Each structure stands twice: as C-alpha cells, then as structure tokens.
C-alpha cells in the first residue's frame, strides 16, 4: 500500500488478465512469428536500424554515419541521399508495378476513383513542375489545406520530390489557425480546394483560405483544386486552378536526391494549451521508421493486402500511415473522404466489404462511437476479408478493445494497439501481430529498435507499477526540433528527466512487463494523496455493459483535494443509475476511485482529431468560464454540460 498523503507514483488499480496469443493460422503466414527482430535490435539498435534502412528504403548514395546523437538532437544516416517521392512511386513503377492500384478513393457522396502507382507518378511529376513554375524551390515551405482527396497525397509527394517542406493544416481548422501556421512556417504557396464533402454537404475551404491569406504576407500563390463545386472568388495573378496548371505542366520531373537530413515536413501540434509547435521531420530516418513499422506492425503483404487507415492527412497518422509508410511499401489502400455516419452508420463497414479491406487502422474514439451505434451496423456486412486491426490516438479501454476484437475482428484478427506521437514520427510501442500475446488495453512492448522505460518522479527506473513514460535512446523518426524554437524543444521534452525524452504520458508496467498507457500526466487526479490516472477510472466505467464512453476529471474538493467527476455516454438503448455505476467502479478498481458525481451526456468534448478534452470538463466541473475552445470539434457539447453543471450546483 502506498502512503496516503505522499504517494509519488501513479496508482496501479486496473487488473486485466485476458490474454490473446497469435493464432497458429495467423503465424503460418506472418512476416515475423518469432522474436529474432527483438533479439537483433537489443544487441545494437543502431545496426538494427541500418539494416532496416537498407532493406526497406532505396538510397541514391549510402550514408557514412548511422546516427549522431548530441542530446537532444539526433541525425540519422548522415551523408546518405535519397528521394522520398522516388521511394513512394518511381521504384514501384520501375519494378513493373505501375498498373497496381495505389489508392481506391471513395468520395463521401459515393463517387470513386481508382489510382494506380503509374498514374500517381505522372500526376506528382506534373505537379512538381507546376510548383517549380510558381517559384517553389528546395528548402521552401508549402502549406496544404485540403479535404481528403487524392490531390492531398499528390501535393505532399510533389513537395517531397522537389525538396520543399510541406505543412499540412487539417481542413476542419479555422482561417485563423491556418494563418497562424502559415505565418510561423513562412510558407510561399498555399494549396487548397474550393470545398469538400462532409455529412452530405459541401464545406467551403477557399473562403477560409482567402481570409487567412489576407494576413499572411509570405504567400505568393494559391493553388485551388476543384472538388466541392461551390462558387469561389479567384484573385488574378495570385490564385490558380490546379487543373489549369496541370494542363500545361511538363510531364517529367526527375526526383533529385536529397540529403538524409533534408527537412521533409512541418506538422503543427497544438497540445492542449499554448501556441502550436511546428514539429520538424526529416527525410532518411523518418522514411525508414514509417516504412519499417508499417510493414511489420500491420504484417503487410503488399501483393494481397488492402489497407485502410481512417485518419485524415492533416494529422501525423495520415502523414505516416496513409501517405509515406503505405506508399513506400507499395501497398494498395483505401482513402475515404467523409464521415463514418453518412449516409448511414454502417458506411465504414460497407467500404470494408466493397474493397475487401484486410488491414484496418482507426482510433478509440471511433471504436467507442461504433459501440454506441451497436453491433447491428457491422453485422450488416461481410467483414471476412479483415486480417489485422489497429488502434491509435488514445488509450483503448479494455472493453472497447474486446468489442473491437469480437465485432470487427470477429475474434480472428490480432489487435495492434499502437502508441506514438506527432513527435515520434512513427509507431513506438505496439504488438507485432504474429509474435506478441496481447492483453486488452495494453500497447504491450516497445518495437524492436525502440527503447522505452517507466520512471518515477525522481527519474528512477521502475519495473512494476505506475510512473512516467520515457524514451531512452534516439530513433530514426524522432522529431528534429520545433520550428524556430529550440528552447521550447529542450524544455518540453528533455528537461524533466535529463538524458531521456519525456512524452508527457503516464504508463505502468504489470507483472509480465507489459506497458499500459495511462493518459497525459497533466490529467492525473489526486484524491486524498492517491495519484489516479483518468484512463483506469474511465476503463472501469466502460467495462459496465451499458457504457460506451467515459471521461473523468479531478475537480477541487475541500476534503479530498480533488474529487473524481465522471461524464458518461451510454450505449444505444442502454440505461443504468448513477449509483450502480459508482459501485461498479468501486468493485472493478477500488473505493478510492469511485466518482463523486456522474453526469450522463450524449457526447464528450473532443479535439478535432478525436481525443477527449478533459481540461474543458475540469473547467465545467469547477464552475469556471471556459478557456480556449477553438480546437474543439463541437463546442455545443460543453455548453450543454456547463448548463447542467450550473443547474446541479444550484440544487
Ligand atoms: C499518433 C498520435 C499523441 C498522444 C500520446 C498519447 C496519445 C496515442 C496512443 C495514445 C495510449 C495509444 N499522435 N496516444 N496513441 N495513448 N495508447 N495507443 O495520436 O501527437 O496526435 O498524440 O496521443 O497521449 O502522447 S498525437
């Protein structure tokens, strides 16, 4: 038992004992079914990464140094030269796979496009020339603000081809968010669209882009893809239709070899507060990391698999596991433009059936929404093509994992729960589906080549129980810094535990050495001196058969320091009393974790990438005015909760 008033570590309350070893049938055909990758990597991680770089990536010039580590800066494959677009396109076409489908694209209204590797290569070469014609040169920054259409992929690869760094801004962000990011990156060109489809309607992008560009002095040209068909104003001399530029663009643009450390892209991450950080990723190490992880974590068989990641290209998951990883591996993938409930709640499953998707990668927020909608939706479709299913973005509650495993994976597909960040570039902690015995809710172990340890408040390594997740040595896809702010880079990630990268997440280790992510440490609650993770209480709530989703926060409390307040969304048609739920939590993980109050709500406040925003719920619970809500997906959710909190404080 920990000391009640001064417990430095995060409590370990949840005890999950179900285990799922890979089946013999899966192992028989898996790329890896034994531990040799782990064994080799643990002997010499640099040599291991060098092997991956040789096996998975094509280089124009070999490197002379695998890794230079001057903490907190690493460089990988120094002296090496390569072109990312060449790796994603040309090499597959040269190998005779030009007619292979790269992208089955499905628009939200139901229109489709089938795009081969040869087509993508032609398109990217032309657009590279178009960008050059607008004055874009190696080292420049280009902003991309597009819906989920193939041109987003083309634009990113064209930048990579000519050595310009892209900065993609999610199409759902406001004109102000776009302007801030353009100004921080000092981008020369903006690529946008007239509009895109969302929930059956066209959402305009060009007017937002116009608004942004009115306060971005560095933008010289705006390229506009026609998608929504909505009316737009074109500014003479500044704005160009994509199709007009492409109609006259030269067809050949040779992929120029880039140095391994050439800036590939900036991606801005807002975190929960403060000015967005431009996370920097470079060329050789990043491509090696995402190609290797995409291949082994999903057990990719590029000849037969159909892969689908439901993320948006505006997030790191879209960069690494829609664009760079899958295309570098020569995979066939599905890209879907719209929302999962248009026209009906079974849209994703109809797409799985239609394209015979075999690898499916989504987020816990989506899985919990599917739970809310009920098993009837996936049951309307033949999901027998699925082989591997993955999760990313938040801790996946054990019960959500089980639901995913049983109803989507049909008990047959390994579930890969992948932990990583915008900053890490690629997957860091995850099962290998042919090797790892999984436990529902655990991301299991660091991948071969990755070093992760849990430490206590003082930085001492712990081997059992809860603490802080740290990364112990450099990896090829790691961020190279924050654009224009080296001090913030040092302070944010490297100052709390000297010599270690601190990810900002809590984690615990169980008796078998499995890693369990416990959420952001900023969200950890302190109840009578016990440090309790939001994840464990939420998982206890979600383990009740009536509950689909839960968020808990610690609100100021005169007697216990903080009290646990829970916000709960029920599964479709289910009901349960507040008291029954409180007792359920006490039974699952202990009386100390029993919420003081539970509010039922049809929705929780989330970021636009689907992560629960507990900070806002804390404001609501403590009766404060809401702070910054601009990164919220749907602000009305909190207003409603706030109204009810005020009402409940009154009585
Ligand atoms: C890929 C991505 C990063 C943060 C990270 C965690 C959380 C992501 C998992 C997870 C538990 C996971 N990049 N997170 N994956 N927590 N289990 N499998 O999401 O930069 O947008 O967010 O997301 O808190 O630090 S991100």
Q: Is the CB of 316 under 6 A from ligand 1?
A: yes
Q: What share of the chain is helix, strand, coil (3-state, %, to 5)?
A: 35, 25, 40
Among 392, 514, 518, which is best to mutate for testing ligand 1, by the most ligand atoms less than 8 A from CB? 392
CA 420 to centroid of ligand 1, rounded, Å: 5
Query: What pLDDT, on a 0 to 100 scale, did the predictor assign at position 8?
Result: 64
Query: What pLDDT, on a 0 to 100 scale, did the predictor assign at position 3?
Result: 36
CA 581 to centroid of ligand 1, rounded, Å: 28
Strands 277-282 and 258-259, bridge-based pairing? unpaired
Query: What pLDDT, on a 0 to 100 scale, did the predictor assign at position 16?
Result: 86
What is the C-alpha separation between 53 and 61, in angstroms, rounded? Answer: 12
The ligand 1 atom at the shortest distance from the C-alpha of residue 519 is 24
Q: Is the CB of 523 under 6 A from ligand 1?
A: no
Question: How far lies 604's CA from each of 96, 274, 363, 367, 424, in Å?
Answer: 49, 22, 15, 14, 27
What is the C-alpha separation between 341 and 339, in angstroms, rounded? Answer: 6
CA 3 to centroid of ligand 1, rounded, Å: 31
What is the C-alpha separation between 524 and 562, in angstroms, rounded? Answer: 10
CA 325 to centroid of ligand 1, rounded, Å: 18
Return the SS3 of 16.
coil
Do residues 336 and 322 make contact, with C-beta atoms less than 8 angstroms apart? no
Q: To which CATH superfamily is domain 544-650 assigned?
A: ANL, C-terminal domain (3.30.300.30)
Do residues 396 and 371 make contact, with C-beta atoms less than 8 angstroms apart? no
Q: Is the CB of 293 under 6 A from ligand 1?
A: no
Q: Whose CA is nearest to atom 26 of ligand 1?
A: 421
Among all chains, which residue has been given the structure tokens 């394209």? Answer: 355
Return the SS3 of 304.
coil
Nearest to 285 by CA among 143, 144, 449: 449
Q: Whose CA is nearest to atom 11 of ligand 1?
A: 395
CA 475 to centroid of ligand 1, rounded, Å: 17
Q: Is the CB of 399 under 6 A from ligand 1?
A: no
CA 214 to centroid of ligand 1, rounded, Å: 34
CA 319 to centroid of ligand 1, rounded, Å: 15
Q: Which residues of the chain have pLDDT under 70?
A: 1-8, 271-273, 625-632, 644-651
Question: How far lies 63's CA from each of 50, 247, 620, in Å?
Answer: 9, 39, 54
Rounded to the nearest 10 degrees, the angle between the axes of helix 284-297 and helix 45-56 is 80
Q: Is the CB of 363 under 6 A from ligand 1?
A: no
Q: Is the CB of 505 under 6 A from ligand 1?
A: yes
CA 618 to centroid of ligand 1, rounded, Å: 21
The ligand 1 atom at the shortest distance from the C-alpha of residue 504 is 25
Query: What pLDDT, on a 0 to 100 scale, did the predictor assign at position 628?
Result: 62
User: Which spans in 552-613 are helix H?
Assistant: 578-589
Nearest to 567 by CA among 508, 648, 486, 651: 648
Strands 515-520 and 501-509, bridge-based pairing? antiparallel
- Over the range 178-207, which residues count as b (16 or more CB within 10 Å of their CB) and which as e? bbbbbebbebbbbbbbbbbbbeeebebbbe
pTM for this model (two decimals): 0.95
Tell me the HSE value of 459 on the side-chain side, using a 13 A CA sphere.
10
Among 482, 505, 631, which is best to mutate for testing ligand 1, by the most ligand atoms less than 8 A from CB? 505
CA 558 to centroid of ligand 1, rounded, Å: 33
Q: For residue 85, give the H/E element and its range.
A: helix 84-85
Query: What pLDDT, on a 0 to 100 scale, did the predictor assign at position 5?
Result: 39
Q: Is the CB of 516 under 6 A from ligand 1?
A: no
Q: Is the CB of 612 under 6 A from ligand 1?
A: no
Return the SS3 of 609.
coil
What is the C-alpha separation between 6 and 528, in angstroms, rounded? Answer: 9
What is the C-alpha separation between 132 and 109, in angstroms, rounded? Answer: 34
What is the C-alpha separation between 472 and 92, in angstroms, rounded? Answer: 36
Q: Whose CA is nearest to atom 5 of ligand 1?
A: 421
- With a CB cutoff of 8 Å and minimum separation 6, the contacts of 247 are none
DSSP string computed for 326-353: HHHTT-EEEEE-S-TTSSSTTHHHHHHH
- In terms of residues, how long is the chain? 651
What is the C-alpha separation between 512 and 347, in angstroms, rounded? Answer: 39
CA 611 to centroid of ligand 1, rounded, Å: 9
Total Cβ atoms within 10 A of residue 647:
9
Query: What pLDDT, on a 0 to 100 scale, did the predictor assign at position 2?
Result: 37
The ligand 1 atom at the shortest distance from the C-alpha of residue 396 is 17
Q: Is the CB of 421 under 6 A from ligand 1?
A: yes
CA 392 to centroid of ligand 1, rounded, Å: 6
Q: Which two three-digit tokens encode residue 499?
A: 């010599």
Q: Is the CB of 392 under 6 A from ligand 1?
A: yes
Among 420, 423, 470, which is best to mutate for testing ligand 1, by the most ligand atoms less than 8 A from CB? 420
What is the C-alpha separation between 308 and 311, in angstroms, rounded? Answer: 9
Nearest to 81 by CA among 303, 260, 276, 287: 260
Return the SS3 of 299.
coil
């Amino acid at each position: 038992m920990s000391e009640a008033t001064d417990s430095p570590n995060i409590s370990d309350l949840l005890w999950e004992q179900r285990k799922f070893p890979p089946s013999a049938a899966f192992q028989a055909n898996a790329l890896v079914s034994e531990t040799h990758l782990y064994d080799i990597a643990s002997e010499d991680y640099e040599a291991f990464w060098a092997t991956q770089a040789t096996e998975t990536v094509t280089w124009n010039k070999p490197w002379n140094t695998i890794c230079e580590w001057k903490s907190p800066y690493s460089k990988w494959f120094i002296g090496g030269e390569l072109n990312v677009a060449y790796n994603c396109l040309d090499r597959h076409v040269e190998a005779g796979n030009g007619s292979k489908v790269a992208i089955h694209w499905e628009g939200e209204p139901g229109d489709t496009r089938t795009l081969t590797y040869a087509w993508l290569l032609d398109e990217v070469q032309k657009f590279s020339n178009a960008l050059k014609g607008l004055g874009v040169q190696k080292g420049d920054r280009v902003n991309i603000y597009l819906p989920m259409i193939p041109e987003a992929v083309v634009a990113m690869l064209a930048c990579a081809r000519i050595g310009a760094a892209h900065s993609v801004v999610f199409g759902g962000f406001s004109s102000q968010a776009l302007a801030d990011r353009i100004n921080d990156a000092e981008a020369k060109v903006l690529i946008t669209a007239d509009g895109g489809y969302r929930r059956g309607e066209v959402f305009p992008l060009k007017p937002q882009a116009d608004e942004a560009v009115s306060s971005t002095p560095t933008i010289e040209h705006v390229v506009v893809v026609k998608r929504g068909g909505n009316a737009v104003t074109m500014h003479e001399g500044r704005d160009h239709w994509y199709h007009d530029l492409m109609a006259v663009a030269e067809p050949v643009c040779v992929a120029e070899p880039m140095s391994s450390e050439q800036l590939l892209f900036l991606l801005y991450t807002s975190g929960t507060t403060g000015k967005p950080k431009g996370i920097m990723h470079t060329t050789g190490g990043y491509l090696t990391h995402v190609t290797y992880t995409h291949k082994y974590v999903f057990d990719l068989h590029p000849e037969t698999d159909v892969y689908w990641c439901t993320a948006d290209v505006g997030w790191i998951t879209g960069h690494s596991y829609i664009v760079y990883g899958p295309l570098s591996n020569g995979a066939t993938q599905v890209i879907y433009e719209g929302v999962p409930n248009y026209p009906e709640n079974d849209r994703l499953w109809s797409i799985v059936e239609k394209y015979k998707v075999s690898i499916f990668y989504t987020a816990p927020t989506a899985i919990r929404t599917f739970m809310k909608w009920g098993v009837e939706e996936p049951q309307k479709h033949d999901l027998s093509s699925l082989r591997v299913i993955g999760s990313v973005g938040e801790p996946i509650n054990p019960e959500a994992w089980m639901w995913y495993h049983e109803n989507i994976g049909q008990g047959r597909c390994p579930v890969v729960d992948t932990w990583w960040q915008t900053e890490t570039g690629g997957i860091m902690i995850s099962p290998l589906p042919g090797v790892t015995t999984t436990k529902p809710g655990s991301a299991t172990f660091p991948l071969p080549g990755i070093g992760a340890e849990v430490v206590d408040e003082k930085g001492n390594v712990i081997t059992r129980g809860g603490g802080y997740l740290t990364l112990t040595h450099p990896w090829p896809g790691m961020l190279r810094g924050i654009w224009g702010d080296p001090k913030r880079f040092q302070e944010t990630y490297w100052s709390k535990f000297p010599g270690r990268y601190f990810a900002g997440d809590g984690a615990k280790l169980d008796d078998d050495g499995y890693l369990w992510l416990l959420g952001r440490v900023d969200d950890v609650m302190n109840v009578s001196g016990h440090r309790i993770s939001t994840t464990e209480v939420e998982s206890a709530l979600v383990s009740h058969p009536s509950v689909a989703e839960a968020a808990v926060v610690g609100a100021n409390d005169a007697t216990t320091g903080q009290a646990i307040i829970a916000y709960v969304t029920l599964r479709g048609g289910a009901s349960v009393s507040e008291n029954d739920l409180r007792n359920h939590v006490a039974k699952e993980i202990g009386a100390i974790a029993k919420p003081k109050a539970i509010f039922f709500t049809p929705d929780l406040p989330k970021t636009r990438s689907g992560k629960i925003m507990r900070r806002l719920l804390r404001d609501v619970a403590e009766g404060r005015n809401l702070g910054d809500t601009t990164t919220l997906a749907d602000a009305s959710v909190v207003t409603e909760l706030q109204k009810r909190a005020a009402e409940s404080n009154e009585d």
